[in-house]
Homo-oligomer: A and B are copies of this chain.
Amino acid sequence: MAIPVEAFYLTPGASGSLQQQIRAMVTQGILAGRFRPGQRMPSSRGLAGHLGISRITVTLAYADLVSGDYLTSAGRSGYFVSETAPLAPQFPVSAPQGEAVDFRALTGGRFSGAARVARPEDWDSYPYPFIYGQADPTLFDHQNWRQCALRALGKRDFAALTSDYYERDDPLLVEQLLRTILPRRGIAAREEEVLLTLGAQNALWIAATLLLGPGRRAGVENPGYPGWRGVVTATGAAAVPVDVDALGLPPERLAADVVFVTPSHQCPTNATMPVERRVALLDAAEAQGFVIVEDDYEFEMSFLKPVAPALKSLDRGGRVIYAGSFSKSVFPGLRLGYLVGPPGFIAEARALRALMLKHPPGHIQRTMAYFLGLGHYDALVNRMKNAYRRRRQVMAEAIADEGLEIAGQGGFGGSSFWMRAAEGVDTEALAIALRAEGVLIEPGRAFFAGDGPKNYYRLAYSSIALPKIAEGVARIARALR
């Protein structure tokens, strides 16, 4: 029995080429059991006429389906559903299941309860998105990324794409990291001192899991990156908040086993720690026997003054574990970061990563290696720095014009201002009110440990277009009045 042409229709607005849409209709019909092995397909002329498309499109789609063994060609008799076509097993699916087990109680709700920065998923539909950490399509070098990705999908890179790397990393990317990226932070490292991770978040998770546990204490910056407190708490350790000042984390009275710090740009105040304080911090680590985890986020975005070398570059005793990321400067969906530390630490981190997720996908590692090797990465960073410099200037002027108060802005650059509203202002309520005005800001409360102040907020300029900045800031000022 022939399959009638009426079984096929094009959905307006569907994605993919016409040939791909035909392919999807045929394969889904076969896999769902609606089209049976041996059934004759509509003629290419008949289906083309029915869909109102060119016959060659249908012919090409059919030829493609023959090579995937969905169809067979019987010459002039036409095309038939293959007798050996892929067939999905068909089972009665189970009835909706009960929740006999209270999983929230069983797991202790340990993770879902953590503080988060509130972020709407459709941020890019707001005209004034002062949000942090999303890629800007007007700055990203989409074309060259695509070319590098395509090269990494080639036959020559088959093993890099498909292999179970066991515990290893892509040697090309490790080479770029050792030769290109780390020397710019003043860090000389060997292969056995480096591990690739699923972004900086994953690097911090691995470091915390290895170094902490019940009974141990972690010093965390206050205000600080909220992800840290969650990561520390998950290990069973105590997160001890340490108030930062205008120079970042003070090195005195750090009673902890591990200290987490952002020396390049303190998160969220943007303070840069001066060299004397870095030396004092390392001396304290030596004297008191603690280990330092350095999150060197955003070091590339130093466009006002040259960047300072990493804290890790001053580390003579091997007490600093360094975490870096490509996800910030390339795009966050990349999920690629790295850890640098003494070989004994990296060996443990590698074994933990293998148990946790094996390794970052090979294709992404190889694409990044090409993007670095061809200089696209540095061209991108340069373009971002230029754009951020202009945006920051316009934003600083708008903030001054509107009489808003900057609580922290950093001397090197970065991508955000840390702002303070008047006492008594609840910036979480402010953020919700501003959404109706098309403005997104980030309330500051999640950055503070415990019951922190409610009147701080962060304004990032990494995703907002230059011409929108002045009006966006004006709307914030209006809402605050």
Chain A residues near B (Cβ < 8 Å): 15-16, 20, 23-24, 26-28, 30-31, 65, 68-70, 84-86, 88-104, 106-107, 109-114, 119, 121, 124, 133-135, 137, 140-142, 144-146, 149-151, 153, 155-156, 158-166, 168, 180, 183-188, 197-199, 201-202, 205, 210-211, 214, 227, 230-231, 234, 286, 291, 306-307, 309, 312-319, 331-336, 341-345, 347-348, 350-352, 354-364, 370, 373-376, 378-379, 381-383, 386
Contact A352 B153 (CB under 8 A): no
Query: Nearest 6 A-B pairs (CB), nearest first?
Result: A27-B375, A86-B378, A68-B379, A162-B331, A91-B186, A100-B317
Given contacts A306-B89, A335-B357, contact A146 B142 (CB under 8 A): no
Contact A374 B86 (CB under 8 A): no
Contact A362 B348 (CB under 8 A): no
Expressed in whole angstroms, the Cα–Cα distance for A141 and B68 within the complex equals: 9
Expressed in whole angstroms, the Cα–Cα distance for A97 and B314 within the complex equals: 10
Contact B205 A102 (CB under 8 A): no
Contact B205 A356 (CB under 8 A): yes
Q: Can you sample 8 A-B contacts with CB below 8 Å?
A: A68-B376, A86-B382, A89-B184, A94-B316, A101-B318, A334-B361, A335-B358, A364-B364
User: CB-nearest residue of chain B relative to A228?
Assistant: B355
Expressed in whole angstroms, the Cα–Cα distance for A381 and B84 within the complex equals: 12
Given contacts A186-B94, A205-B357, contact A111 B348 (CB under 8 A): yes
Partner of A124, one of B159, B316, B331: B159
In this complex, the member of A165, A199, A351 whose beta carbon has the largest number of chain B beta carbons within 10 angstroms is A351
Besides A68-B144, A101-B319, A134-B163, 20 more A-B contacts (Cβ < 8 Å) are: A28-B375, A69-B382, A84-B382, A86-B381, A89-B306, A91-B309, A94-B313, A94-B316, A95-B316, A98-B317, A102-B344, A111-B348, A111-B352, A121-B166, A124-B159, A202-B358, A205-B356, A335-B357, A335-B358, A364-B364
Contact A363 B333 (CB under 8 A): yes
Smallest CB separation, A416 vs chain B (Å): 15
User: CB-nearest residue of chain B relative to A358?
Assistant: B201
User: CB-nearest residue of chain B relative to A352?
Assistant: B111
Expressed in whole angstroms, the Cα–Cα distance for A350 and B109 within the complex equals: 11
Expressed in whole angstroms, the Cα–Cα distance for A362 and B313 within the complex equals: 33
Smallest CB separation, A50 vs chain B (Å): 21
Smallest CB separation, A180 vs chain B (Å): 7
Partner of A107, one of B90, B124, B186, B345: B345
Smallest CB separation, A481 vs chain B (Å): 31
Contact B347 A112 (CB under 8 A): yes
Contact B111 A135 (CB under 8 A): no
Given contacts A150-B150, A201-B358, A355-B205, contact A187 B101 (CB under 8 A): no
Expressed in whole angstroms, the Cα–Cα distance for A40 and B68 within the complex equals: 54
Expressed in whole angstroms, the Cα–Cα distance for A111 and B111 within the complex equals: 23
